[in-house]
Amino acid sequence: MSGIPVIAVDGPSASGKGTVAQRVAEVLGFHYLDSGALYRLTALAAERQGATWHDEQAVADIAAKLDVVFDGAAILLAKSDVTEAIRTENIGIGASIVAALPLVRAALLERQRAFALVPGLVADGRDMGSTVFPHAPLKVFLTASAEARAERRYKQLTERGEAADLAAITADLHARDERDRQRSVAPLQQLPDALLLDTTEMGIAEAVQQVLAWWHTATEVQRKSVPSA
């Protein structure tokens, strides 16, 4: 592994892990990887190229050749701005289908690891701690109750002006959680070495403070275990 410090933040959809991970990265001056965006981009690229989401080889080839630029807050796919297009419910469903395909996950592995650059990285997803950055000095499993997550997703969609139905969102989150947990490769799971952060009753600021406190403890422990020359 590269020796670059990585904070791995894994958890289910709509748990708030993206916002928390991004803010932690800002505070520490670290890079940020939204690994879910890569699966969403793959689903969108497949749809645009006429491949079905279940065609493993075709989708893996598309994933390997993704022409993506992360330009600050904007995401460009083959030079077109897809920042909003990858956030729809339909592409979220496509992402969870293509993410269950082993060849697709393999095609995206090195692309994710390439985000680990000095001075450090905060990476969020489902398998950051288990597969992509197994040596991360801090692993967080960030979750919230199904009801809280459904309400957050509902609020997000309505704030963006999209039509939203709470019952449909709850059912969809449930189906997506099941697909992410049950798949054979890199399933969503809380690892024994991951610290649990349940944000059901917690605001973003408090969650960020908790991750930062854990990070300072983890780096302190590391510093003490490396004898000075």
Positions touching ligand DC (CB under 6 A) are 13, 35-36, 39-40, 92, 95-96, 99, 125-127, 176, 180
Q: Which is nearer to ligand DC, 127 or 138 (CB)?
A: 127
Nearest Cα to Cα of residue 12 among 144, 183, 192, 203: 144
| Cα 228 to the center of its chain, rounded Å | 36
Q: Which is nearer to ligand DC, 62 or 127 (CB)?
A: 127
Nearest Cα to Cα of residue 198 among 189, 207, 186: 207
In angstroms, the CA 71 to CA 90 distance is 24
Q: Give me the phi and psi of 78, to 5 degrees please.
A: 45, 45
Q: Which is nearer to ligand DC, 5 or 105 (CB)?
A: 105
Closest approach of Cβ 65 to ligand DC, in Å?
Answer: 19
Q: Which is nearer to ligand DC, 78 or 175 (CB)?
A: 175
Q: Is 11 left (phi over 0), alpha (psi -120 to 50) or beta?
A: left
In angstroms, the CA 29 to CA 97 distance is 33
Return the number of other C-beta atoms located less than 10 Å from residue 82's C-beta. 20
Q: Give me the phi and psi of 7, to 5 degrees please.
A: -105, 120
Closest approach of Cβ 125 to ligand DC, in Å?
Answer: 3
Paired residues of 71 in beta bridges: 74
Closest approach of Cβ 227 to ligand DC, in Å?
Answer: 35
Query: Could you tell me how many residues make up the chain?
Result: 229
Closest approach of Cβ 221 to ligand DC, in Å?
Answer: 26
Q: Which is nearer to ligand DC, 48 or 179 (CB)?
A: 179
Closest approach of Cβ 91 to ligand DC, in Å?
Answer: 8
Closest approach of Cβ 217 to ligand DC, in Å?
Answer: 25
Q: Which is nearer to ligand DC, 170 or 219 (CB)?
A: 170
Residue pair 196/141 in contact (Cβ under 8 Å)? The answer is yes
